[in-house]
């Protein structure tokens, strides 16, 4: 029934948001400089089989090559200073 799917989807979305919120708090404590959207992408990549260590290495290499502002979408520029 379509009515049964909607609450289930809402529950899944809420659970996913809670997971990302928790991961974002951990990422903030670890000073990863990843925002919620970036964490969401990372989780999705890992869920689809990407090696987490390889992903972390790529992120570090991108930051070294292009600087933090380029990799994080300029979040530091748009954040409160």
- The ranges assigned to domains in the chain are 15-66
How far apart, in Å, do the first and last CA atoms of the chain sit?
50
Q: What is the pLDDT of residue 7?
A: 76
Q: What is the pTM of this model?
A: 0.69
Reference 55, options 34, 74, 36, 73; nearest CA is 34
Q: How confident is the model at residue 10 (pLDDT cuts 50, 70, 90)?
A: very high
Q: Higher pLDDT residue, 77 or 23?
A: 23
Q: What is the pLDDT of residue 67?
A: 83
pLDDT in tens, 57-70: 999 999 999 986 65
């Amino acid at each position: 029934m379509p009515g049964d799917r909607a609450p289930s989807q809402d529950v899944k979305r809420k659970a996913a948001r809670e997971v990302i919120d928790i991961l974002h708090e951990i990422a903030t404590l670890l000073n990863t400089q990843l925002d919620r959207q970036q964490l969401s992408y990372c989780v999705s990549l890992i869920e689809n089989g990407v090696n987490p260590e390889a992903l972390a290495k790529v992120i570090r290499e991108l930051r070294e090559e292009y600087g933090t502002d380029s990799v994080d979408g300029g979040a530091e520029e748009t954040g409160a200073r």
